[in-house]
Amino acid sequence: MTQDILNHDTVALDGENNALVIIDQTKLPGAVEFLSLTKQTDIHRAISLLQVRGAPAIGVAAAIGAYLAALEIDSDDYGVFYSRFKAAKEYLASSRPTAVNLFWALDRMERVVSGNENSTVPEIKELLRREAVKIRDEDVSACRAIGEYGLSLIKDGDGILTHCNAGALATVKYGTALAPIHLGRERGYNFKVFADETRPLLQGARLTACELVADGVDTTVICDSMASRVMKNGWVQAVFVGGDRIAANGDVCNKIGTSGVAIIARHYGIPFYVCAPTSTIDMSVPGGEGIAIEEREGREVTEMWYAERMAPEGASVYNPAFDVTDSELVSAIVTERGIVLPPFEENLHRLFENIKLCAII
């Protein structure tokens, strides 16, 4: 029953069986199936094939994957252990290129190894387990905080448009862009959500609709090309999306189609909010042009959802998985540390420099 999905973490460590447990998102909404993965090749494949997807979720999955890789290393020599751990880390990092949370989580795991040269290998393995669990726990609390801040931007009854899935299924639980909606639901708010279907992999129609309907939210699936229509109709009071990598200047890389939604929202004077944990902000990248955009196979566009191929053989397909929304189109970036307003270049620096932040910068 898809009703069940909100009762389970999207990504979890099964400590008894030393396995990464995920909800297989390629099977939704038809079936709720769990995968228990122990092999590195299977974890890599699960991330590449989007069985687990969404920037924060793949970060947590990779952290657990790195811990499981460490358990398999049978040498107690620190140097040998570190070099094998690094190779495993690089292998997991090659599963997808765009969402920075993947690299952020793996770097955190590596720092556990590099920072504990004087510990024994079994001690380091235990520290890696704790770090993976911490990354998981932090994701849950960050999403909850993002939900609270996001909820302060909308009111009961509002129409909200979202793109792709930045919900519970893209994180351990709650989500980023959908966290305000889930939290509002807990408090008895009634939002009307428009979920862009999100071509070509349909994360909006399959996943966002699935988790919002499971939560009892009034949900309408629209084709991506209909966003302008519903905004012009006056049905949308705010747009909420997630992010895969946010550059230091506030450019937001997110699912392909996001930038078009932002342009339309600006045209109709509708606020465009990006909800993302600080782990999605990559201060080493000055602007969106520095972000590697994943390109995926053409069959996702021409064949995947059709009984018969729907475009002629011989036509080329361009299938970028993400695009960059220029920071000028972003009304605010909602993080677990507060709501960051423009100018982003200045305020994102303050977000990282100021340890103590006020709710709204």
Q: Does 145 bind ligand MRU (CB under 6 A)?
A: no
> In the bound complex, what is the minimum distance in angstroms from residue 71's beta carbon to ligand MRU?
27
Q: Does 255 bind ligand MRU (CB under 6 A)?
A: yes
- Answer yes or no: are the C-beta atoms of 163 and 204 closer than 8 Å: yes
Task: Compute CA distances 341 → 63, 71, 119, 288, 332, whole Å.
Answer: 31, 43, 44, 18, 5
Residue nearest to ligand MRU according to CB distances in the complex: 242
Region 285-324 residues binding ligand MRU, contact defined as CB under 6 A? 321
- Least Cα distance to 5 among 223, 209, 219 occurs for 209
Active site residue 244: yes
Q: Does 246 bind ligand MRU (CB under 6 A)?
A: no
> In the bound complex, what is the minimum distance in angstroms from residue 172's beta carbon to ligand MRU?
11
Region 96-115 residues binding ligand MRU, contact defined as CB under 6 A? 99
Catalytic residue among 244, 251, 282, 323: 244
Binding range to ligand MRU, per CB under 6 A, among 14-22, 150-158, 169-177, 340-348: 169-177
Q: Does 142 bind ligand MRU (CB under 6 A)?
A: no
User: Closer CB to ligand MRU, residue 58 or residue 154?
Assistant: 58
- Least Cα distance to 100 among 265, 247, 255, 287 occurs for 247
- Helix residue ranges per DSSP H, the chain: 40-48, 55-72, 78-93, 100-114, 121-151, 179-186, 203, 209-214, 227-232, 258-267, 299-302, 344-353
Phi, psi of 84 (to 5 degrees): -70, -35
* Torsion angle of C-alpha atoms 352, 354, 360, 361, degrees rounded to 10: -80
- Least Cα distance to 207 among 271, 243, 162 occurs for 162
- Least Cα distance to 235 among 198, 272, 192, 264 occurs for 192
Binding range to ligand MRU, per CB under 6 A, among 82-90, 189-197, 237-245, 303-311: 237-245
Binding range to ligand MRU, per CB under 6 A, among 152-160, 163-171, 212-220, 328-336: 163-171
Can you tell me which residue has the tokens 């009071």?
A: 237
Among 70, 106, 164, 212, binds ligand MRU (CB under 6 A): 164
Q: Does 242 bind ligand MRU (CB under 6 A)?
A: yes
Amino acid identity at 171: T
> In the bound complex, what is the minimum distance in angstroms from residue 84's beta carbon to ligand MRU?
28
Q: Does 56 bind ligand MRU (CB under 6 A)?
A: yes
Q: Does 89 bind ligand MRU (CB under 6 A)?
A: no
Conformational region of residue 192, where left means phi above 0, alpha means psi within -120 to 50, and beta covers everything else: beta
Give the interface with ligand MRU as residue ranges (CB under 6 A): 50, 53-56, 99, 164, 166, 170-171, 175-176, 203, 242-244, 254-255, 321
